[in-house]
Amino acid sequence: MWGIIRQSAGNRGLSISKSQFRCLVQGARSYSSASKEMTVRDALNSALDEEMSADPKVFIMGEEVGEYQGAYKITKGLLDKYGPDRVIDTPITEAGFTGIAVGAAYHSLKPVVEFMTFNFSMQAIDHIINSAAKSNYMSAGQISVPIVFRGPNGAAAGVGAQHSQCYAAWFGACPGLKVLAPYSSEDARGLLKAAIRDPDPVVFLENELLYGESFPVSAEVLDSSFCLPIGKAKIEREGKDVTITTFSKMVGFALKAAEILEKEGISAEVINLRSIRPLDRATINSSVRKTNRLVTVEEGFPQHGVGAEICASVVEESFEYLDAPVERIAGADVCMPYAANLERLAVPQIEDIVRAAKRACYRSTSMAATG
Amino acid sequence: MAFSAKIIQPLPLFTTRSDNKNINNLSSPFVGSTYKLRLPTPIISSSRPHFGSASVVAVKSEVIKDSKKPKSDASSNLLITKEEGLEVYEDMILGRAFEDMCAQMYYRGKMFGFVHLYNGQEAVSSGFIKLLKKEDSVVSTYRDHVHALSKGVPASQVMSELFGKTTGCCRGQGGSMHMFSKEHNVLGGFAFIGEGIPVATGAAFTSKYRREVLKEADCDHVTMAFFGDGTCNNGQFFECLNMAALWKLPIIFVVENNLWAIGMSHLRATSDPQIWKKGPAFGMPGVHVDGMDVLKVREVAKEAVGRARRGEGPTLIECETYRFRGHSLADPDELRDPAEKAHYAARDPITSLKKYMVENNLATEAELKAIEKKIDEVIEEAVEFAEESPAPSRSQLLENVFADPKGFGIGPDGKYRCEDPKFTEGTAQV
Ligand SMILES: Cc1ncc(C[n+]2csc(CCOP(=O)(O)OP(=O)(O)O)c2C)c(N)n1
Ligand SMILES: [Mg+2]
């Protein structure tokens, strides 16, 4: 990771990319004082509901989104409320219905395409990349594609190699796509609303294992006008000794690791990326300039991953601030095994984050921590 | 605009007859090659001798039943011999008992993730696969345990795989949705809709290639691809019907139409729900058969296997069947009408075969009981075997990603250096 060329580091400032955010920036404010709790599932469901009610051009299509109420019940109640013309059960033909949705977006409808899981988006990859992501460019801005591709992404439990992988880095590599990965209910609501209102194709990566988790939400988050900026990370926990960047389910792991580290006298700053693309390089780099140490965490594969991109950004922009090699935690470089014991070894665990953070802080680590 | 008109279940029985007028129109100039249709002068090249004529037929099982006398025993009117009947019965009992045990083991936490059971559809697996040779291939979906069993993968190995143990048919790496056995030519459980169809078509392509290019004259292996009604709306299905017919590949496309794709009724998902009709549209026979009747299934399967072995090309067979459980063990199964479930439960393919065998003096109740008892023991042993087998060792995590893993964490001794913390960069010390 040290071999990365310092390309054009000179003219790259730390300023946030100036893409227009269509909603008020609520940024990194914390809502921890909130009294109410909400599951990620309800957060997504309410965001869809509110956006559909606000704009008749918004419709949702996908497998089992209607009568079955969603394979993971994210669209529960929407068929009853908006009817089969706006909550459309499709046959199992990802390539077909994704292309149809893109065509509808060409004509200014606002489709929300649900993939039962993001694994199945592979059958629609042509339309996501070639039709959705490139049309605005190819048509010189004449045809924009306001579409959201959403569904669960990442490692699930016990479902084997084909049903368990993270696509953040895959989609994050494509010009023309915006890629979001919520962690909490606040993220889920604010980012999904932003995605639907955005004029460009947004890949919205949820996590099945988070759907049932509850998070505190403030009155502000519950307001129907609530929206989060695309491209802005959230500092979930402030710290001064080491920066941990991560997204989606791993944010929870990183926060737990930070608690353990605190007991050992290490103060970790946890950055919830929220947006994979655009990537909030400014927040990452200013944190690293403060802590001088970086641990990146993701469930996806190590090579060409989100962590690799973050390493490059920090090497390009904050090289001289680093006091230790960057530590990169990722899923093992293998297909997801089925056997439970191997599966556990294939995805990052809290102990791995703790150990890497200690290594970055030159604390001794025990090699026996992994089971 | 009404995208999702509500359609009342249960599925009305297929009433359309095969449309002979249409088929006659198709049969002579079309002959399995759209190529010829477009060109004024047909290209007859010696490298493509297989572009000969194939009659395009669309038949329903009734038609077959009427037109064919049972071959198994010419002297009687029976549809199956005693030996065949017992073999098929045993296979169906094995499938049923295995899946029931899986449900128990799943609820006890012995297996995990998505587990899709086959109860109710046994006539299809047994009716088709028991006709195959070991060299013939089977390609399945996520609902694959029973296809693997019918093809001869030992129950102990399938159970052990489901337990995630090293003695499983894929050493615990594949799991419920990914059964493979090279030895038995089970080419996979494919978890994505439609994926298995091209792979199966590729296996059939290989048989033809071996025979015609590699000059292995005796290579008459056939491939069966199993998949559901919902899958027939996926493009890969149509793409492969075309290529299989175009190149006259030895494949049988077996649609297990259980009327539902998770919670999506077939009638809500498909513009023309008669799937078998798509065969003739591509220049191959399309057959509809009662998939709850193993004897009928066997008849149409035999014919299709024969056609494939003789190099006469593919067949599409739609088996009307039903799953007696939810889509997977995680499915609440709230959308299917209880009356529909009861209708098909009353047509249990195992009960029907039993009745047929006993009524026609092919087997006594006692003989069939003995088979059931034997299978109970097989299943018990499979569970014990799986239970006692070891979980994969840590080092297995890095194995099998490549056939040639040079450069991927292999130490000087040729073993995986799993202790190398920089290898995966992931769970640091694997
Ligand atoms: C490409 C793809 N999209 C979605 C799914 C999720 N999925 C799994 S099974 C299934 C229904 C399949 O129905 P059918 O083909 O009728 O087979 P059955 O399960 O009834 O045997 C769906 C939609 C998938 N596995 N792959
Ligand atoms: Mg089905």
Structure confidence by residue, pLDDT tens digits, A296-315: 999 999 989 999 999 999 99
pLDDT at site B26: 36
Q: Are strands A87-89 and A36-39 parallel, antiparallel or unpaired?
A: unpaired
Residues B263-278: pLDDT tens digits? 999 999 999 999 999 9
Q: Which of B382, B336, B354 is nearest to B145 (CA)?
A: B382
Interval B156-176 mean pLDDT: 98
Is a pLDDT exceeding 50 seen at residue A183?
yes
Ligand 1: residue of A61, A65, A116 to mutate (most ligand atoms within 8 A of CB) is: A116
Encoded tokens for B162:
């489901």
pLDDT of residue B34: 30
pLDDT at residue B271 in the model = 97
**Coil, strand or helix: which one is B383?**
helix
3-state secondary structure B260-311: EECCEEHHHHCCCCCHHHHHHHHCCCEEEEECCCHHHHHHHHHHHHHHHHCC
Structure confidence at residue B420 as a pLDDT band (50, 70, 90): very low
C-beta separation of B124 from B321 below 8 A: yes
Name the pairing type of β-strands A294-297 and A242-246.
parallel
Over residues B303-325, the pLDDT tens digits come to 999 999 999 999 999 999 999 99
Picking from A161, A346, A370, the nearest residue to B429 by CB comes out as: A370
CA A340 to chain centre: 25
Q: Does A93 lie at the interface with B, CB-CB under 8 angstroms?
A: yes
**Block residue for tokens 């290579």:** B219
Residue B382 φ/ψ, nearest 5 degrees = -60, -45
Q: Are A302 and B425 a contacting pair at CB < 8 A? A: yes
pLDDT digits (tens, 9 = 90+) for B193-211: 999 999 999 999 999 999 9
Among A137-146, A211-220, B32-41, the range scoring the smallest mean pLDDT is B32-41
Q: Mean pLDDT of all residues in chain B?
A: 84
A218 touches chain B (CB under 8 A): no
Q: Residue B120 gets which letter from DSSP?
A: T
E strand or H helix that includes residue B232: none
Residue pair A168/A153 in contact by the 8 Å Cβ criterion: yes
- pLDDT 10s digits, A241-287: 999 999 999 999 999 999 999 999 999 999 999 999 999 999 999 99
Which A residues 332-361 touch B at CB under 8 Å?
332-335, 337-342, 345-349, 352, 355-356
Q: For position B13, what pLDDT does the model report?
A: 39
Q: What is the pLDDT of residue B418?
A: 57
Contact B301, B256 (CB under 8 A): no
Two structure tokens written together for B259 = 């009327």
H or E element that contains A291 = helix A281-291
Torsion sign (Cα): B230, B235, B241, B247:
negative
Work out the average pLDDT over A189-214.
98
How confident is the model at residue A35, as a pLDDT?
74
Average confidence (pLDDT) over B34-41? 32
Span B144-151, mean pLDDT?
A: 98
Q: Which residues is B271 bridged to in the sheet?
A: none
Instruction: Looking at the CA of A72, name the nearest ligand.
Output: 1
Query: pLDDT tens for residues B351-374?
Result: 999 999 999 999 999 999 999 999
Distance CA A43, CA A23 (A): 18
CB contacts under 8 A, B 229-248 vs A, are 230-231, 233-235
- A282's tokens: 């400014």
> What DSSP character marks residue B315?
E
Tokens of B253: 């496309």
Among the listed residues B343, B347, B416, B371, the one whose alpha carbon sits nearest the alpha carbon of residue B88: B371
Residue carrying structure tokens 């390309």? A7
Residue window 36-65, chain A: list those with CB within 8 Å of chain B: 63-64
In the structure, which protein residues have their CB atom closer than 6 angstroms to any atom of ligand 1?
A 63, 92, 94, 116, 120, 123; B 143, 191-193, 227-231, 256, 258, 260-262, 327
> Which is nearest to A346 in space by CA: A77, A82, A158?
A158
* A61-96 pLDDT per residue, tens: 999 999 999 999 999 999 999 999 999 999 999 999
> Is the distance from CB of B191 to CB of B178 less than 8 angstroms?
yes
Contacts of B420 in chain A (CB under 8 A): none
In this structure, which ligand is nearest to the CA of B259? 2
3-state secondary structure A145-203: CCCEEEEECECCCCCCCCCCECCHHHHHCCCCCEEECCCCHHHHHHHHHHHHHCCCCEE
CB atoms within 10 A of CB B195: 20
What pLDDT is stored for residue B428 in this prediction?
39
CB contact at 8 A, B65 and B104: no
Question: φ and ψ at A178, to 5 degrees?
Answer: -105, 135
Give me Rg for the CA atoms of chain B: 23
Is any Cβ of chain B less than 8 angstroms from the Cβ of A113?
A: no
pLDDT above 50: residue A16: no
Amino acid at A178: K
CA–CA separation, B277 vs B279, rounded Å?
Answer: 5
Backbone phi, then psi, for A45, in 5-degree steps? -60, -45
Confidence of residue A364 (pLDDT cuts 50, 70, 90): confident
| pLDDT class of B427 with cuts at 50, 70, 90 | very low
Q: Does B164 touch chain A (CB under 8 A)?
A: yes
Closest CA to A215 of A192, A190, A185, A250: A185
pLDDT at B361: 96
Is residue B7 less than 8 Å (CB to CB) from chain A? no
What distance in Å separates the CA atoms of residue B218 and residue A259, rounded to the nearest whole number? Answer: 68
- Nearest-CA residue for ligand 1 atom 23 is A92
Residue B318 has phi, psi (to 5 degrees) of -100, 120
Pocket test for ligand 1, best of B193, B253, B327 (most atoms within 8 A of CB): B193
Beta-strand relationship, A178-180 and A202-206: parallel
Torsion of CA B23, B27, B30, B32, to 10 degrees: 90
Whole-number percent of chain B with pLDDT over 70: 78
Let me know the angle formed at the C-alpha of A56 by A53 and A61, rounded to the nearest 5 degrees: 90
Q: Contact at 8 Å (CB) between B294 and B349? A: yes
Cβ-proximal residues to A222 (8 Å cutoff; 6+ apart), any chain: A36, A38, A189
Token reading at A40: 């990620």
DSSP string spanning B338-362?
A: HHHHHHHHTT-HHHHHHHHHHHTTS
> Of A140, A206, A135, A139, which Cα lies nearest the Cα of A176?
A135
What residues are paired with A58 via a beta bridge? A110
> When comparing pLDDT for A42 and B48, which is higher?
A42
* A301 CB-near residues (< 8 Å, 6+ apart): A165, A166, A169, A330, A331, A333
User: Which residues of A are the active-site residues?
Assistant: 94, 163
More confident call, B394 vs B371: B371
Partner residues linked to B228 by β-bridges? B256
Angle, vertex CA A71, rays to CA A69 and CA A72, nearest 5: 90
Distance B167 CA to ligand 2 centre (A): 31
Which residues contact residue A10 at a Cβ distance below 8 angstroms, ignoring those fewer than 6 apart? Answer: none
- pLDDT band for B60, please (50, 70, 90 cuts): low
**Amino acid identity, position B240:** C
Phi, psi angles (nearest 5°) of residue A248:
55, -140
Strand partners, A110: A58
Distance in Å, alpha carbon of A298 to nearest chain B alpha carbon:
9
- pLDDT tens sequence across B5-18: 333 333 433 433 33
Between the alpha carbon of residue A70 and those of residues A39, A74, A239, the distances in Å are 16, 6, 39
Test the B interface: residue of A122, A345, A351 with most B CBs within 10 Å? A345
Ramachandran angles phi, psi of A152, nearest 5°? -70, 140
Cβ under 8 Å to B: A residues 137-176? 156-163
The answer to whether B28 and B359 are in contact (CB under 8 A) is no
CA distance B23 to chain A (A): 28
